[in-house]
C-alpha cells in the first residue's frame, strides 16, 4: 500500500477503507489531502479484490471544510486557471465502484460536499451537516448547492445555504440526506459490513445498478426509465445474470464470476 501523509488507507477484506487524517485541522480538505484521496481511490478502483469503498474521518470530524488558508489568497483568475476544487474534488463522485461515506462529527462546507459525492451516507448519531460558506464571504463550490437541493429539496437546502444552519443526524435522515443513523462507536464497522455485502455480489451487476440509480438523480423520469431499461436488458448479456437466476431456481447461493 502506498504511503500517505494526510489519509490512512487499508483493505478490510473486499472493502477499501480510507480515513481522512488531519486531526489538528479537523480533517480540513487541503490540496494535498485531496490529491492523496484521489490516488487512494484510483488504487482501489484498479484493485480487483476490492468491491466497495468506505471514506470516513475521525469521531470528532469527518471533515470540517476546505482548507481556508489555501483558498484565502485566490483571485478570480487564479481560482479559474487552477480549476480550484473541481479538478480533484469530483474524483469520489466519479468512482465506478460503490462508495459509502461514514460520517461522524462535523461534516461542514467541503466536508459535507465530499460526503454527498459518495453513493450514500451512513451517519453517526453525532454527525452534523452544514454549508456555512456564506459566513466567510463565498458560496459552496464543490457541488453543495446542487447535490443538497436534489437530496433534501429546495426549501431546506435554501435555508441551510443562506443561513448556514447545521443539520443533525436525525434531521438528516428524516430529510433524505443520509441513509441511516448509527451509534458512533459502531459507525465504521457497520459501513464496512454494508460494503462487504455489496462486494459479495456480482461486481458488474452492482456497477450497472449504480449507473441506473444515478440516471434517476441526474435526468428526467422519462429518460431515466429508458436508461434503466437499456441497462436491464444488458444484464442478460452477463454470465452472472444466468448464474443468479439459475441459483435462485435451484435454491442455492450464486457463485458469481464477475463477468
* DSSP sequence for 29-96: B-HHHHHHHHHHHHHHHH-TT--EEEEE--SSEEE--B-HHHHTT--HHHHHHHTTTHHHHTTTTT-S
Residue from 28, 63, 66, 199 carrying the catalytic annotation: 66
- Mean pLDDT score, 47-62: 98
Q: How many CB atoms lie within 10 A of CB 82?
A: 11
CA angle 52, 57, 59 (to 5 degrees): 125
Q: Residue 55 pLDDT more than 60?
A: yes
Query: Pick the catalytic residue: 124, 133, 143, 195?
Result: 133
Residue 83's pLDDT is 65
Predicted confidence (pLDDT) per residue in 84-105, tens digit: 666 688 999 999 999 999 999 9
Catalytic residue among 101, 102, 113, 143: 113
The pLDDT-based confidence of 122 (bands split at 50, 70, 90) is very high
pLDDT exceeds 80 at position 74:
no
Q: Which of 109, 110, 141, 244 is catalytic?
A: 110
pLDDT of residue 70: 65
Q: What is the pLDDT of residue 3?
A: 87
Rounded Cα distance, 93 and 99, in Å: 9
State how beta strands 128-130 and 167-168 pair.
Answer: antiparallel
Q: Does 110 participate in catalysis according to the annotation?
A: yes
pLDDT category, 66, cuts 50, 70, 90?
A: confident
Please say if the pLDDT value at position 186 is more than 80: yes
CB atoms within 10 A of CB 90: 13
Whether 133 is catalytic: yes
Active site residue 113: yes
The percent of residues above 90 in pLDDT, for the chain, comes to 88
Query: pTM (2 decimals)?
Result: 0.93
User: Is 223 an active-site residue?
Assistant: no
Amino acid at each position: 500500500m502506498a504511503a500517505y501523509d494526510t489519509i490512512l488507507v487499508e483493505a478490510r477484506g473486499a472493502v477499501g477503507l480510507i480515513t481522512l487524517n488531519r486531526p489538528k485541522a479537523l480533517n480540513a480538505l487541503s490540496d494535498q489531502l485531496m490529491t492523496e484521496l484521489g490516488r487512494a481511490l484510483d488504487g482501489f478502483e484498479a484493485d480487483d479484490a476490492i468491491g466497495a469503498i468506505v471514506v470516513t474521518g475521525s469521531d470528532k470530524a469527518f471533515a470540517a471544510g476546505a482548507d481556508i488558508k489555501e483558498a484565502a489568497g485566490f483571485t478570480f483568475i487564479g481560482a479559474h486557471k487552477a480549476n480550484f476544487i473541481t479538478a480533484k474534488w469530483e474524483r469520489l463522485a466519479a468512482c465506478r465502484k460503490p462508495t459509502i461515506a461514514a460520517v461522524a462529527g462535523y461534516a461542514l462546507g467541503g466536508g459535507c460536499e465530499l460526503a454527498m459525492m459518495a453513493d450514500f451516507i451512513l451517519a453517526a448519531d453525532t454527525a452534523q451537516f452544514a454549508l456555512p460558506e456564506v459566513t466567510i464571504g463565498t458560496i459552496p463550490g464543490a457541488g453543495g448547492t446542487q447535490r443538497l437541493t436534489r437530496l433534501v429539496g429546495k426549501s431546506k437546502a435554501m435555508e441551510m445555504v443562506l443561513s448556514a444552519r447545521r443539520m443533525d443526524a436525525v434531521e438528516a435522515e428524516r430529510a433524505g440526506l443520509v441513509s441511516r443513523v448509527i451509534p458512533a462507536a459502531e459507525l465504521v464497522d457497520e459501513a464496512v459490513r454494508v460494503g462487504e455485502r455489496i462486494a459479495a455480489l456480482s461486481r458488474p451487476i452492482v456497477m450497472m445498478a449504480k449507473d441506473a440509480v444515478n440516471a434517476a438523480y441526474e435526468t428526467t423520469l422519462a429518460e431515466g426509465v429508458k436508461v434503466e431499461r437499456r441497462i436491464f436488458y444488458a444484464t442478460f448479456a452477463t454470465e452472472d445474470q444466468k448464474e443468479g437466476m439459475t441459483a435462485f431456481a435451484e435454491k442455492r447461493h450464486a457463485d458469481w464470476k464477475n463477468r
